[in-house]
Amino acid sequence: MSDTAPQPKTAVSNPPVQPLEVGFDARDVVRISATSDVPQPERQLDKLAKLIDISKCIGCKACQSACIEWNDTHPDIETNIGSYQNPHDLNPQMFTLMRFSEWVNPETDNLEWLIRKDGCMHCEDPGCLKACPAPGAIVQYSNGIVDFIHENCIGCGYCVTGCPFDIPRISQVDHKSYKCTLCSDRVAVGQGPACAKACPTQAIVFGTKADMIAHADERIADLKSRGYDNAGLYDPQGVGGTHVMYVLQHADKPSIYSDLPDNPRISPIVEGWKGVTKTAGLAVMGIAAVGAALHGLFSRGNRVTEEDTEEAEALVESDLHDRRGDV
C-alpha cells in the first residue's frame, strides 16, 4: 500500500460520514447579486470543493438519482434519443447530468468512453452572480458555494448568459432559475453533497479545496503511471478557479469531455453589463440601508425597473439563441 492523501472529510459512503466541523449560514455571504458594499463576514470559512474524478466514474447516474431525491424534483420521463444521456439536458428539475462522449484517442486508436458529470462549477468568480440584475437572487458564501435564492429570482435568464459553463435553467412553470446548490442545505449542517454521498466508487468526493487538490494530485500520479501523460486537474483560472473540479485523463483537451470549456471566461458582454447591473441593483434597493439584515434581504419581494427587464430579455434571447442552436 502506498501512502495515501487525506481522505475526503465528508460524504464518503464507506467508511461512514465524518461531519464537517463548521457549518455556515447567511452571515457567511461574501457576494450578493446586484448589490455592492456587502459587509464582509467576521469569519472566513475553509474553501470547499467537490472533486469529480472522471477516471473513476462509471457513469452509473447514482449522483443524478441522489440529486433528484434530495432536492425532491420530478424530471419528466423522456425518450431515448440515441444516447445513455437522460434527461437529455440539464433542466429546472435536473441539476446534474452525466454526459457521455465516445472519443477515439488519435494516438492509440483506442476508444475511450468519457463520462462527465455536468453541473454548476461554483466559480470563485461567478459569472451568473455578476450578470444577475435581481438583488439577492444569487449569493456566494466565503466557502465558495454559489447559491440561488429563488424568492429573489426574476427569471430573466441573465445568469444563463453569465455562466461560461451553460448551467442554469429557467423554469417555464415558476420562471425561476435553477442549478446545483452544492447541497448548501446539507453542507450547512456538516454533511456533504447528496451526489458525493451516493457515488459508489468515490469518483465524487467533497472536502476542503486544499484537501481535494491533494487528493487530486494522488489520482493524477496514478493516472500518469497508467500512461495518461496529460492527466491533470481542471480548476480553470479564467473564472478564478472553481469549487467543483475534475480530474481529467486528458487535461490538455477539456473539450473532448462533452464540450467542457478549454478556457472558460465570463462573457465580455456580461463583464460590460456588470456596471449597469450594479447601478440598477442599487436603485432597486432604494433606501435599503447598507448593512441591512441579510435575512430581510433574502426574503424581500422582487422588484426591478422596466428598463432592466427589457435589456435583460434582449440579452438573454440573443445569447440563448447562440448557445442552444444545436440542441
Partner 1 sequence: MTNSWTDIKNTDLVIVMGGNAAEAHPCGFKWVTEAKAHRGARLIVVDPRYNRTAAVSDYYAPIRPGSDIVFLMGLIRWLIENDKVNREYVTNYTNATFLVKDEFGWSDGLFTGYDEEKRDFDRSSWDYKIGEDGFAQVDMTLSDPRCVWNLLKSHVDVYTPEFVEDICGTPKDKFLHICEMIGECSAPDKVMTSMYALGWTQHSKGAQNIRGMAMVQLILGNMGMPGGGMNALRGHSNIQGLTDIGLMSNLIPGYLNIPTEKEPDYATYMSTRNFKPLRPNQTSYWQNYPKFMVSFMKAMWGDAATAENDWAYHYLPKLDVPTYDAMRMFELMKQGHVNIYFFQGFNALLSFPNRAKMTEAFSKLKLMVVMDPLATETSHFWENHGIYNEVDPASIQTEVLELPTTCFAEDEGALVNSGRWLQWHWAGATPPGEAKYDTWIMAQIFLRVRKLYEEEGGVFPDPILNLTWDYANPDDPTPAELAREMNGRALQPVYDTTDPTKVLVEAGKQVLNFSQLRDDGSTMCACWIYSGSWNEDGNNMARRDNSDPSGIGIYANWTFAWPLNRRILYNRASADMQGRPWDPARALMTWNGERWESPDVPDISPTAKPGDVMPFIMNAEGTSRLFARGMMRDGPFPTHMEPFESPVANIFNPKMRGNPASRVFVDDAEQFATSEEFPLVATSYRLTEHFHYWTKHNPVNSTLQPQFFVEISEELAAEKGIANGSRVRVWSKRGEVWAKAVVTKRIRPLTVRGKTVHVVGIPLHWGFMGAARKGFGPNSLTPVVGDANVETPEFKAFLVNVEPAEEEPVA
Query: What is the pattern of x (binds partner 1, CB under 8 A) and - over residues 224-243?
Result: -xx-----------------
Annotated binding residue at 46?
A: no
CA–CA separation, 30 vs 189, rounded Å?
A: 19
Beta-bridged to residue 148, according to DSSP, are 138
Site for partner 1 in 165-204 (CB under 8 A): 200-203
CB of 81: closest distance to partner 1 in angstroms? Answer: 4
At residue 2, what are phi and psi to the nearest 5 degrees? -85, 160
- Choose which of 57, 134, 146, 297 interacts with partner 1 (CB under 8 A): 57
- Choose which of 10, 33, 71, 86 interacts with partner 1 (CB under 8 A): 86
Contact between 112 and partner 1 by CB under 8 A: the answer reads yes
- Choose which of 22, 111, 210, 290 interacts with partner 1 (CB under 8 A): 111
Contact between 55 and partner 1 by CB under 8 A: the answer reads yes
Query: Which grid cell is 237?
Result: 483560472
Binding-site residue total for partner 1 (CB under 8 A)?
49
Per-residue burial over 236-253, b = 16 or more CB atoms within 10 Å of its CB, e = otherwise: beebebbbbbbbbbbbee
* Chain centroid offset of residue 158 CA: 16
- Choose which of 56, 265, 278, 300 interacts with partner 1 (CB under 8 A): 56
* CB contact at 8 A, 245 and 119: no
Nearer to partner 1, 220 or 304 (CB): 220
Q: Tell me the C-alpha to C-alpha distance, in Å, between residue 205 and each of 72, 201, 316.
A: 22, 10, 34
* CB contact at 8 A, 97 and 83: no
- Choose which of 125, 166, 222, 271 interacts with partner 1 (CB under 8 A): 222
CA–CA separation, 156 vs 311, rounded Å?
A: 10
Contact between 108 and partner 1 by CB under 8 A: the answer reads no
- Choose which of 21, 37, 42, 80 interacts with partner 1 (CB under 8 A): 80
CA–CA separation, 52 vs 33, rounded Å?
A: 28
Element (H, E) at 98: strand 97-104
Query: Which grid cell is 61?
Result: 447516474
Site for partner 1 in 252-291 (CB under 8 A): none
Contact positions vs partner 1 (CB under 8 A): 1-2, 4, 13-15, 55-62, 64-65, 68-69, 74-84, 86-87, 94, 102, 104, 110-115, 200-203, 218-219, 222, 225-226
Residues making up the annotated binding site are 57, 60, 63, 67, 120, 123, 128, 132, 153, 156, 159, 163, 180, 183, 195, 199
